[in-house]
Amino acid sequence: MKKDLLLLPNLLSLSRIVFLPVLVFFALQGNLLAFTISYAIIGSTDAFDGFIARRFNMVSELGKMLDSIADLVFYLSTAWFIYLLYQSYLMPNMTLLIVFFCLLGLSFIVSYITCGKPILMHTTVLRFNAVMIYALVVFSYFFDTTYFIAFILFVFFIGFIEEMVIFIKFGAVDPDTPTIFTLLRSKEYKER
C-alpha cells in the first residue's frame, strides 16, 4: 500500500488536494491572474495522473480511490471558487447548482445502497465534464461564462443519472467504466 502511494499518478492525484490552499490563498486575495494560472497548473494533474497510470501500467485500486477523492475535493472547491470570484456568472444558475448537489448526494446514496460504499464513477460523460470545469475556470477569467455553467450542470445531470442507473442495474463495477452501453455490450451481462 505504501509502495502504491508513492507511484507518480497517485502523487499527482494527491497534489490536487495538497496545493488547494494555494488556490484558496489567491482566491481570497482576489488575485485572479495568479489564481487562474495556479488553477490551470494544479488542475492539469487530473489529466496526467490517469494518462501516466494507464501508459506505464501503474493503475491500482488505491490510485482509483485517490483520484476520485481528489476529483471530488477539487471540483467541489471549484464551485466555491466560482461563487467567490465569479458570483455574477453563478447566481443565475443557483437552482441548477442545488439540483447538481442533490444528484451528487443521491448518486452516493444509491452507490452505498447497491454497492456497500460511496463510489464516484469516471464515465466518459463525467470525464468530459471534468475537462469542461477546468476550462470554465480559465474561461471565466476572460469571458462571461453564465451559459457555460448551465451547460456543464446539465451534462453533470446526465452523468449522475447514468451513474445511478449503472449502480442499480449492475452494482459494483469498475469506476473507470466508460458508459452504461459498455456494460450492456459486455460478455458478463449478456451471459446473465
Give the mean pLDDT of 54-78. Answer: 84
Judge whether 81 lies within some domain.
Answer: no
Residues 64 and 143 in one domain: no
Q: Which residues contact 188 (CB under 8 A, 6 or more apart)?
A: none
pTM: 0.82
Average pLDDT across the chain, whole number: 89
Judge whether 80 lies within some domain.
Answer: no
Residues 117 and 155 in one domain: yes
Domain ranges, residue 69? 1-74
Q: What SS3 state is found at 88? A: helix
- What's the rounded Cα separation, in Å, for the pair 128 and 112? 24
Determine the pLDDT at residue 81. 95
Determine the pLDDT at residue 47. 80
- Rounded to the nearest angstrom, the gap between the alpha carbon of residue 61 and the centroid of all alpha carbons in its chain is 17
Domains contained in the chain, number: 2
Q: Is the pLDDT of residue 3 over 70?
A: no
Task: Give the domain-ending residue among 74, 95, 116.
Answer: 74
